[in-house]
């Protein structure tokens, strides 16, 4: 068969883009060679609807083994009692939880998207907001930290079936214990979406949501550094978190409800090549090497947020406990939108994403903020000493986003990154 040069040339271009740039998108990372190899393997050819030992197709004896290894490694890594590794993405994992625990029209509560929540936590353009009734909590304007008192008041008023902790642009640790108290008080299930700080939690550097939540969801491709995908985990309330009976009046195990909400509820055949790659990434995450990586991610983020503040930028909440920070551009550049800042930086091969900041005066298309994270640059070997230099380059571009300045910084960026290979092959 003729080689598809049209696509492979684009793959080569994307590889060059990734190699020469500084990647600061907080939700991105670079997988290892063996994670990549597993994803591009013959496992992609296999249909395996169902679960290990209970499939709707023959020939699943090998994928049964790799899916079981992925499940066991996930349980070990997070201290969970049960795991489902089939969700195709983080949003799919969340959808499965909603389908298992609510009926259409039921109320749930998540963090307001404009305050750092995720689309799948109740945005009106997402299934979560379209099919269910979403109420939300916010951060406090003075501190930029979650307003747990507001969460409690609104939960007692709205009586949600699920309360979701976790978000996409929140730089502080979550008070899972307090949220569990609130959930118990109003009769809700507590769901932790730890997609972002997943790797930090797995290695014990942030409070473990699995200890307090009824259900935990995560993506596998952010700090965890695996293939794109999702997982669902259950901790101590594993069997029947409702007590004697489910909302439907029957005694049913949560694990069975979640399994059938993933398949056949919301997905068909699992991506067994991705599940094999998840197993590889989970195996890597169990090592001390990965722990050293995560510690470095956190050190880099702290150093970078300090460097931004030293240059007069407003970092929401005054710093970070995790791998990301949210910058409000308005105090330093009142006229510049997040979109303009993102475009100027991308032209200099520094990739960031525009982001709403809490109490933003601009729309989601323009925004007043930037979200910046250190997982990807840490994978490429950058250390604390490099952070100030990166912030200097960002500041130079934003202070003077002219073509000449952008070209000068782009050269510095490319010189810095070119000797840091991404792949061994």
Ligand X SMILES: Cc1ncc(COP(=O)(O)O)c(C=O)c1O
Nearest distance in Å: CB 123, ligand X = 11
Instruction: Choose which of 55, 60, 78, 90 interacts with ligand X (CB under 6 A).
Output: 90
Instruction: Out of 89, 208, 320, 353, name the contact with ligand X by CB under 6 A.
Output: 89
Residues 6+ apart with CB under 8 A from 175: 146, 148, 207
Q: How far is the CB of 25 from ligand X (least distance, A)?
A: 10
Note whether 199 binds ligand X by CB under 6 A: no
Question: 203 vs 371, which CB is nearer to ligand X?
Answer: 371
DSSP-assigned beta bridge partners for residue 232: 84, 217
Does residue 31 contact residue 227 with C-beta atoms inside 8 Å? Answer: yes
Whether the Cβ atoms of residue 104 and residue 129 lie closer than 8 Å to each other: no
**Per CB under 6 A, which of residues 95..154 are in contact with ligand X?**
118, 120
- 228 catalytic? Reply is yes
Which one, of 7, 19, 95, lies nearest residue 349 by Cα? Answer: 19
Sheet holding 133-137, edge to edge: 82-84, 230-234, 215-219, 189-193, 162-165, 107-111, 133-137
Q: Is 222 a catalytic residue?
A: yes
Q: Is 122 helix (H, G, I), strand (E, B) or coil?
A: coil
Distance (Å, rounded) from C-alpha 85 to C-alpha 425?
A: 28
Which residue of 29, 126, 128, 168 would you call a contact of ligand X, by CB under 6 A? Answer: 168
Q: Taking a C-beta distance cutoff of 8 angstroms, is the pair 64, 85 a contact?
A: no
Asked if 196 touches ligand X (CB under 6 A), the answer is: yes
Give the nearer residue to ligand X in terms of CB position, either 266 or 306. Answer: 266
Is 193 known to be catalytic? yes
* Residue 195 touching ligand X (CB under 6 A): yes
C-beta of 213 vs 398, nearer to ligand X: 213
Scanning the structure block, which residue is given the tokens 């979406």?
193
If 0-12 CB within 10 Å is exposed, 13-18 middle and 19+ buried, where does residue 315 land? buried
Stretch that binds ligand X, among 14-22, 86-94, 172-180, 274-282 (CB under 6 A): 86-94
CA distance 17 to 393: 18
Q: Which is nearer to ligand X, 21 or 117 (CB)?
A: 117
Active-site hit among 193, 237, 284, 321:
193
Q: Which of 198, 219, 267, 306 binds ligand X (CB under 6 A)?
A: 219
SS3 category, 59: coil
Annotated catalytic residues are 47, 49, 193, 219, 222, 228
- Note the residues at the interface with ligand X (CB under 6 A): 27, 89-91, 94, 118, 120, 166-168, 193, 195-196, 219, 230
């Amino acid at each position: 068969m003729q080689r598809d040069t049209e696509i492979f040339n684009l793959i080569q271009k994307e590889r060059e883009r990734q190699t020469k740039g500084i990647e600061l998108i907080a939700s991105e990372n670079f997988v290892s060679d063996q994670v990549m190899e597993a994803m591009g393997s013959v496992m992609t050819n296999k249909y395996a609807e169902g679960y290990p030992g209970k499939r709707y197709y023959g020939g699943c004896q090998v994928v049964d083994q790799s899916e079981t290894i992925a499940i066991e490694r996930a349980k070990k890594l997070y201290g969970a009692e049960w795991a489902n590794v089939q969700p195709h993405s983080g949003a799919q994992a969340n959808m499965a939880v909603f389908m298992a625990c609510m009926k259409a029209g039921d109320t749930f509560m998540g963090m307001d998207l404009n305050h750092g929540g995720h689309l799948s936590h109740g945005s009106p353009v997402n299934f979560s907001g379209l099919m269910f009734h979403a109420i939300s909590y916010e951060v406090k304007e003075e501190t930029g930290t979650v307003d747990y008192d507001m969460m409690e008041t609104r939960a007692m008023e709205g009586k949600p079936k699920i309360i979701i902790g976790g978000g996409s642009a929140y730089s502080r640790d979550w008070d899972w214990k307090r949220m569990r108290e609130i959930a118990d008080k109003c009769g809700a299930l507590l769901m932790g979406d730890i997609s972002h700080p997943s790797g930090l939690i797995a290695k014990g550097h942030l409070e473990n949501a699995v200890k307090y939540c009824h259900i935990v969801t995560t993506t596998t491709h952010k700090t965890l550094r695996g293939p794109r995908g999702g997982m669902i985990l259950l901790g101590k309330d594993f069997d029947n978190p409702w007590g004697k009976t489910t909302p439907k009046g029957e005694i049913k195990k949560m694990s069975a409800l979640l399994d059938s909400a993933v398949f056949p509820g919301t997905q068909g055949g699992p991506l067994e090549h991705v599940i094999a790659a998840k197993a590889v990434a989970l195996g890597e995450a169990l090592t001390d090497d990965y722990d050293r990586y995560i510690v470095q991610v956190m050190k880099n983020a702290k150093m970078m947020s300090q460097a931004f503040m030293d240059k007069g930028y407003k970092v929401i909440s005054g710093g970070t406990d995790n791998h990301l920070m949210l910058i409000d551009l308005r105090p330093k550049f009142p006229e510049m939108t997040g979109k303009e800042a993102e475009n100027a930086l991308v032209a200099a091969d520094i990739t960031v994403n525009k982001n709403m900041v809490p109490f933003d005066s601009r729309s989601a298309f323009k925004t007043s903020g930037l979200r910046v994270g250190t997982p990807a640059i840490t994978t490429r070997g950058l250390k604390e000493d490099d952070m100030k230099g990166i912030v200097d380059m960002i500041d130079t571009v934003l202070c003077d986003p002219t073509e000449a300045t952008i070209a000068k910084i782009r050269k510095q960026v490319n010189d810095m990154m070119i000797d840091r290979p991404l792949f061994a092959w």
